[in-house]
């Protein structure tokens, strides 16, 4: 796992602790990502955008604020840019 999928995984680690499995499955389906142990398949900034949109619609505004912060911080740490 490297790059954008790591940035999304930073959020997912928290989301898995706070949400039931079916919500995570809904998120994966809405975002078009294969969320699993081998990563989530995010390859670019567009995938991150779809993930954040899915978080907003499924988990709500507080969750998307948290997700955006986690993903942005991890992306900076990895030297990624949109």
Q: What is the pLDDT of residues 11-62, one digit of tens each?
A: 999 999 999 999 999 998 999 888 766 677 888 889 999 999 999 999 999 9
- Position 2 scores a pLDDT of 66
The residues pairing with 36 across neighbouring beta strands, listed in sequence order, are 39
CA pair distance 13, 29, nearest whole angstrom? 17
Selection from 33, 31, 44, 35 nearest residue 3 by Cα: 44
* Residue indicated by tokens 């490297």: 2
Taking the whole predicted model, whether its pTM rises above 0.85 is answered as: yes
Q: What is the pLDDT of residue 57?
A: 96
Dihedral of CA atoms 21, 26, 48, 74 in degrees, nearest 10, equals -10
Beta bridge partners of residue 34, listed in sequence order: none
Instruction: Select from 17, 37, 65, 63 the least CA-distant residue to 5.
Output: 37
Domain limits, the chain: 4-78
């Amino acid at each position: 796992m490297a790059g954008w999928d790591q940035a999304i995984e930073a959020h997912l680690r928290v989301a898995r602790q706070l949400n039931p499995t079916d919500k995570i499955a809904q998120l994966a389906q809405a975002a078009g990502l294969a969320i699993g142990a081998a990563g989530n398949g995010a390859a670019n900034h567009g995938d991150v955008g779809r993930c954040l949109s899915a978080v907003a619609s499924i988990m709500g505004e507080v969750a998307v604020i948290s997700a955006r912060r986690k993903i942005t911080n991890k992306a900076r740490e990895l030297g990624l840019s949109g």
